Structure 1
Amino acid sequence: MTVETKQTARPSFDAASLRGDLWIGGAWRPGRGGDPIDVVDPSTGEAFAAVADASEADALDAVTAAHDALPAWSATAPRKRSEILRRAFELMIERRDHLAELISFENGKALPDAIGEVTYAAEFFRWFSEEAVRLNGELGVAPGGANRILVQHQPIGVSVLVTPWNFPAAMATRKIGPALAAGCTCVLKPATETPFTAYALAEILAEAGAPAGTVNVITTSKAGPTVSAMLHDPRVRKLSFTGSTEVGRRLLKEAADQVLSCSMELGGNAPFLVFDDADIDAALDGAMIAKMRNGGEACTAANRFLIQSGIAEDFARRLAERMGALTVGPGYDPETKCGPMVNAAAIEKIDSLVEDAVRRGARVRLGGKPLDRPGYYFPPTVIEGVPGDAEIRREEIFGPVAAIATFESEDEAIALANDTEFGLIAYVYTGDLSRGLRVSERLEAGMVGLNRGLVSDPAAPFGGVKQSGLGREGAHHGILEFCETKYIAASW
């Protein structure tokens, strides 16, 4: 079985119109960290533009801008903050096609995925515009009757937001939205693979009315030292990070020096369980979403397909048919269903994981090797009989590879699913609702998709357990991550 591919086509997007300076204190300014950073189109492997390289001094200037803006912003009426976020939502929807093409251009994801991301990202501004006016406190009486208990939620302060390249719009709005809604100001450091989406959001927020200094955006080739400088500035009180568990561990150590509040959305190793009583067509529909959304480059992507043995062969054959029908090509080509990976290192890792699994006895049913063409392409791949000692069972694939193994019993399925240090999300397909709920409760994951291949929603608490992170984003929980809880004892 082969995968249909398309040759590279150039988009209508005008790269020359992009602004790549640092956004600090409501103004563009050059970076002082060194030569500009090239931004590469994954569809061709060629640089198409560059952004400023921030130094540690630039980063601290951004902290200063955020700190100076904090008193006025935290004192701004919740309704005013709400209206600014609502306007930012409206502007994102108005410019959805432009933003989607920008994301496809610098990230590589297929246009339908990029359009979906922009819509999803904008919803965080709308959701938190509504949460801004509902940040209620509490009032109670102490059990002994001595005093009243008043509880307030106050903005935590200057927040450092570090976001990855795989969802450059959604990961930014999921952090900026609650920070601004709570009355915090922030410094956003996006990945250098996808910086222009972040700068576009900065412009949208400024146009929506966010005061100068409330949102600052910096790009840097020296992420470690630059973020460290901000985390050791006593004016910074919050770190919100989305990225790998390895980097998250290092940042937690750095944040401990100033005892910073940390929200960490880290790696995943999602199991996708299909029991023999499941609706196979529905399971395949869910698998295509859970595996192929963003070409598999997502922390929520199905990583380990655990299929009950009686239906494993049928499931693998039909999944390969569906994945093999996807057109591979440049993300910004309207016909593309699976775009390139983000860079050469991503291809090398995916290839290494597949090769290791095959050496250990797995069988390739579809794909299996990088495509020999310009850009960073790995075709949709299905491998079966993946043994428990294969690296692909332990590490995030972050690519369009479905690794299939089998189980016999419910207890075995749960044991296999929980046999990982990660616990972000799991997927369960079964025709028995009681079994589905029973299994969902036993799975060590912060989120479960029960007969669903997509769970992300701004109104739902997103986050994991074990080494997949700390805290929650989205829902009412998301705004509380940017608040300090103050208790006032009073008598009257």
Structure 2
Amino acid sequence: MQHTNLYIDGQWRDAASGDRFDVINPATEEAIASVASADLADADAALDAAQAAFGLWAAKKPRERSEILRKAWELMTARLEEFARLITLENGKARADAMGEAAYAAEFFRWFAEEAVRADGMITHAPASGARIVVQHKPAGIAVLVTPWNYPAAMGTRKIAPALAAGCPVIIKPASETPLTMLALMPLLEEAGVPKGLVNVLPSKKSGRLVDHMLHDPRVRVISFTGSTEVGRKLLHSAADQVLKPAMELGGNAPLIVFEDADIDKAVAGAMLAKMRNLGEACTAANRFYVHEKVSREFTSKFSAAMAALKMGDGLEDGIDVGPLVNADTRDKVAAFVEDAVAKGAKLELGGTLPNGKGYFYPPTVLSNVPETADCVNDEIFGPVAAIQSFTDEDDVIRRANNTEYGLVAYVFSENMKRAMQVCERLEYGMVGLNRGLVSDPAAPFGGVKQSGLGREGGHEGMLEFMETQYISAEW
């Protein structure tokens, strides 16, 4: 928490307005830092700095950009404990989860250090005209990055690393709940050799106004956002005025399907990971559990036992598995989902009671016999609640799984690989975890279909989101 001011053009600055806001520790409900709150003048200064840095960075050899990103990975990997502690302080997640995020976040620098030298183009011979078709990829320009609170480090590095690999400068607007981790990353990038002005960080409590202002500046060419579908739609409207290139990773309502031929122990372990990673505060979290009637009781019993074994408390303490949710609104929404489901006929297998005392805690909770009308089936829970339903027919469960505007990720558990692959192909999702509860990987193209987003992050595709394709027609 050494740095709490804006980071613009390689310098730490107070907000032009002098405004600040508190960052709250979700485990204690106490303020842990006062952070500068950027306004429009600060955005303009960041845009000026980014534009000034753009030309020289874009002109660097790909290998030079690659080596700087590689150095950033080395430096962050050496400081995972520091980043994990800061993540826990401002986000609340347990230490093991925070360490996992810090390592995952660092890995994006290594992956895109390798991708920076692979913006491959092509030369082909046009069959009709006989001309040569020369295709190359060029950096698009300034990218505005808007990141959520659930992964304070990883959602930033997943955007910063490909943008720098592509040759683009960035302006980051981190979530006001969790700005400290991204601010703490800046000295590390300086040490790695990132030029001043190339990466700028603007925490702000005036997020909508600030981002809208930047999206209407003609120097901005990319908007990359991770967050709710509702906010994503608003940003797409703003981006349309300047015809910006959008990369949107939006909401999810992930189904987890357990067939009768699944390895139940493997399914329970995968479900625990898919549900409880980051306390369920993830767009990839399993939201709707569909378990075949023949194995429903066994799965529910074993899964409930695994959930009951988790220890809840302040994430900084040893042995804690479940920290607090990020704020009171999130906790109260999760509690309302459980109350609604039980009122509509769901059976409470575990949890469901708010603890006394400070902190935004909610216990691991399992619901069975959840009706389709329950609110938690039709909206993101974003908390440690598993809503279990049963099924008997394959076609029916695929229909139910696809019956949502979202299409980010689904999970399938079956030991019959032929049937499992057929089911995966019928699911209307950008990603599927097959006998796995984890799909996130820097080397894979992360993203959804339908109302869950546009574009991909990670993989080779992640860098291309920050590049424009140029075609040259020539004869020789």
Q: Normalization by structure 1: what TM-score?
A: 0.96
What displacement does 1:58 show? 0.5
Contact 2:136 2:470 in 1 (8 A): yes
CA displacement, residues 441-486 of structure 1 (integer Å, 9 cap, x when unaligned)? 0001000000000111111000000000000000000000000000
Pairing of 1:401-440 with structure 2 (within 5 A): 401-440=385-424
Mapped to 1, the partners of 2:182 and 2:318 lie a distance apart of 23
What displacement does 1:18 show? 2.0
Runs of 4+ in structure 1 displaced over 4 angstroms?
Answer: none
Q: Counterpart amino acid of 2:433?
A: G
Could you say which residue in structure 2 is the equivalent of 1:453? 437
Could you say which residue in structure 2 is the equivalent of 1:245? 229
| Aligned partner of residue 353 in structure 2, secondary structure | coil
Mapped to 1, the partners of 2:16 and 2:231 lie a distance apart of 25
CA displacement, residues 182-204 of structure 1 (integer Å, 9 cap, x when unaligned)? 00000001001111110111221
Mapped to 1, the partners of 2:279 and 2:286 lie a distance apart of 11
Could you say which residue in structure 2 is the equivalent of 1:186? 170
Could you say which residue in structure 1 is the equivalent of 2:42? 58
2:273 maps to which of 268, 280, 289? 289
Q: Structure 1 pair 58/305, CA: closer, same or farther in 2 (3 Å)?
A: same
What displacement does 1:34 show? 4.8
| Stretch deviating more after TM superposition (201-210 or 250-259) | 201-210
Could you say which residue in structure 1 is the equivalent of 2:192? 208
Pairing of 1:245-264 with structure 2 (within 5 A): 245-264=229-248
Pairing of 1:164-179 with structure 2 (within 5 A): 164-179=148-163
| Aligned partner of residue 375 in structure 1, secondary structure | coil
What displacement does 1:387 show? 0.4
Mapped to 2, the partners of 1:113 and 1:232 lie a distance apart of 37
Mapped to 1, the partners of 2:118 and 2:330 lie a distance apart of 42
Mapped to 2, the partners of 1:291 and 1:18 lie a distance apart of 34
1:151 maps to which of 117, 125, 135? 135
Q: Counterpart amino acid of 2:304?
A: A
Q: Structure 1 pair 193/274, CA: closer, same or farther in 2 (3 Å)?
A: same
| 1:235 paired to 2:219 | yes
Mapped to 2, the partners of 1:74 and 1:159 lie a distance apart of 13
Q: Counterpart amino acid of 1:370?
A: L
Gaps of 5+ in 1: 1-16
Could you say which residue in structure 2 is the equivalent of 1:5? none
Could you say which residue in structure 2 is the equivalent of 1:18? 2
Mapped to 2, the partners of 1:78 and 1:174 lie a distance apart of 19
Contact 1:33 1:56 in 2 (8 A): no
Q: Counterpart amino acid of 1:397?
A: I
Q: Counterpart amino acid of 1:266?
A: L
Mapped to 2, the partners of 1:330 and 1:212 lie a distance apart of 37
Q: Structure 1 pair 413/133, CA: closer, same or farther in 2 (3 Å)?
A: same
Aligned residues: 476
Mapped to 1, the partners of 2:355 and 2:420 lie a distance apart of 39
Contact 2:65 2:113 in 1 (8 A): yes
| Aligned partner of residue 332 in structure 1, secondary structure | coil
| Aligned partner of residue 310 in structure 1, secondary structure | coil
What displacement does 1:78 show? 0.7
| Aligned partner of residue 365 in structure 1, secondary structure | strand
| 1:27 paired to 2:16 | no
What displacement does 1:316 show? 1.1
Contact 2:175 2:203 in 1 (8 A): yes
Q: Normalization by structure 2: what TM-score?
A: 0.99
Q: Counterpart amino acid of 1:81?
A: R
Matched residues, percent identical?
Answer: 58
Mapped to 1, the partners of 2:399 and 2:197 lie a distance apart of 49
| Aligned partner of residue 352 in structure 1, secondary structure | helix
Contact 2:19 2:38 in 1 (8 A): no
| 1:221 paired to 2:205 | yes
Mapped to 2, the partners of 1:377 and 1:34 lie a distance apart of 33
Could you say which residue in structure 2 is the equivalent of 1:7? none
Mapped to 2, the partners of 1:385 and 1:36 lie a distance apart of 47
CA displacement, residues 58-97 of structure 1 (integer Å, 9 cap, x when unaligned)? 0121111111110011001111100110000001100000
Q: Counterpart amino acid of 1:310?
A: K
Could you say which residue in structure 1 is the equivalent of 2:58? 74
Q: Counterpart amino acid of 1:475?
A: G
Contact 1:347 1:370 in 2 (8 A): no
What displacement does 1:35 show? 2.9
| 1:36 paired to 2:20 | yes
Could you say which residue in structure 1 is the equivalent of 2:263? 279
Could you say which residue in structure 2 is the equivalent of 1:304? 288
| 1:334 paired to 2:318 | yes
What displacement does 1:412 show? 1.0
Q: Counterpart amino acid of 2:60?
A: T
Could you say which residue in structure 1 is the equivalent of 2:183? 199
2:302 maps to which of 302, 318, 340? 318
Gaps of 5+ in 2: none
Mapped to 2, the partners of 1:362 and 1:419 lie a distance apart of 20
| Aligned partner of residue 278 in structure 1, secondary structure | coil
Mapped to 1, the partners of 2:219 and 2:21 lie a distance apart of 28
Could you say which residue in structure 1 is the equivalent of 2:450? 466
Mapped to 2, the partners of 1:394 and 1:170 lie a distance apart of 27
RMSD: 0.8
Mapped to 2, the partners of 1:203 and 1:419 lie a distance apart of 46
What displacement does 1:324 show? 0.7
What displacement does 1:146 show? 3.0
Q: Counterpart amino acid of 1:273?
A: I
CA displacement, residues 229-281 of structure 1 (integer Å, 9 cap, x when unaligned)? 00000110000000000000000001001000000000000000000110000
Mapped to 1, the partners of 2:355 and 2:231 lie a distance apart of 30
Q: Counterpart amino acid of 1:229?
A: H
Mapped to 1, the partners of 2:18 and 2:335 lie a distance apart of 33
Mapped to 2, the partners of 1:130 and 1:370 lie a distance apart of 47
What displacement does 1:206 show? 1.1
Mapped to 2, the partners of 1:328 and 1:471 lie a distance apart of 36
Contact 1:137 1:153 in 2 (8 A): yes
Q: Counterpart amino acid of 2:351?
A: G
Q: Counterpart amino acid of 2:95?
A: L
Could you say which residue in structure 2 is the equivalent of 1:267? 251
Could you say which residue in structure 1 is the equivalent of 2:427? 443
Q: Counterpart amino acid of 1:403?
A: A
Mapped to 2, the partners of 1:304 and 1:230 lie a distance apart of 37
